[in-house]
Amino acid sequence: MNDTEKRWRQMRDEYLQQIEAELTSIQHPRKKELLADIREHLERRYEELDPSQRTDSRLQEILEEMGPAEEYAELLKQPSSGKTELETVSPAFRFLNHFLTGVFVIVLVSVVGYKLHTADIKPQPDPLQDFILSYQPDPQIIGRWNTVDFVETPEQFVPDRRRSGQEFFFKEIEFYKDMKTSRAWLWSKGKLYFPDIKKEGEYRIRMIDGQEYLFLEWLPDQNPQTGRSPYYVLEKENPK
């Protein structure tokens, strides 16, 4: 183990110990699983870095992306209904949302599978259940993507003539292998599910001039009259 790895492990462990200390007084059935998931996420972020990028400042940024340790305890104390100001801006809230969504998916798949095999009554249509049960893998989507443009249609995008000069509201997203993303959304090949609005959108991946681009249908700005949505265009980060 080199000095950089030793330094990272010390920083990582100190951060995890801070979170664990903050959660001591919280009664939650998945505290240990949450800590394990945070550790796994931190290690993944570290491994994504090229050795030349593993500076103290960059390692500290990884920890800061997760938010202050005390926020995890504060968010677990809060009622499940309603959003606080902390929830709308907190990196800890985004991670907890991602973590708890994953737990929910695992439980839901088990329950739905059991019902389909044992129940005589046909289950009522549910868009989330349908989305999970129709899951198809897509190795090409796995990884981190950064926003580079915002267009009305994918055909409008030209890499060297980007149409949008605005600062993007939606800046990045990471797709994981287990249907989860760094947001609260779920994915299946060519599709995204938005739990907050209970709708399914599409994504397309195109190779243009040797670079992969993701065209992500942005349902929050869907035109209610035409039913059409604009697209965020994202560029895939090269794996380190």
Instruction: Express each pLDDT in 34-67 by its tens digit.
Output: 777 788 888 888 888 888 888 998 898 888 877 7
Nearest CA among 46, 206, 82 for reference residue 141: 206
Domain span at residue 19 reads 3-96
Whether 28 is in a domain gets the answer yes
Percent of the chain clearing pLDDT 70 (strictly above): 75
90 with 137, same domain?
no
Nearest CA among 168, 170, 148, 169 for reference residue 159: 148
Instruction: Express each pLDDT in 117-164 by its tens digit.
Output: 555 445 556 788 888 888 899 999 999 999 999 999 999 998 887 765
The confidence band for 75, taking pLDDT boundaries of 50, 70 and 90, is: low
Whether 172 is in a domain gets the answer yes
Is 89 or 192 the better-scoring residue by pLDDT? Answer: 192
pLDDT for the residue numbered 205: 95
157 with 79, same domain?
no
Nearest CA among 81, 82, 83, 66 for reference residue 14: 66
**How many domains is the chain built from?**
2
Q: Is the dihedral of CA 6, 11, 16, 20 positive or negative?
A: positive
96, 114, 148 - which closes a domain: 96
Residues 66-84, mean pLDDT to the nearest whole number = 62
Whether 104 is in a domain gets the answer no
134 with 228, same domain?
yes
Q: Which residue reads 């209610």 in tokens? A: 224
Whether 113 is in a domain gets the answer no
153 with 210, same domain?
yes
Q: How far is CA 227 from the centre of its chain?
A: 26
Nearest CA among 75, 12, 19 for reference residue 40: 12
pLDDT for the residue numbered 125: 64
Report whether pLDDT(216) > 90.
yes
Please report the DSSP string for 161-176 in residue order: S-S--SPPS--EEEE-
Whether 180 is in a domain gets the answer yes
What type of residue is 132? I
pLDDT for the residue numbered 116: 47
Whether 48 is in a domain gets the answer yes
Whether 105 is in a domain gets the answer no
70 with 135, same domain?
no
Nearest CA among 135, 99, 133 for reference residue 114: 133
What type of residue is 102? G
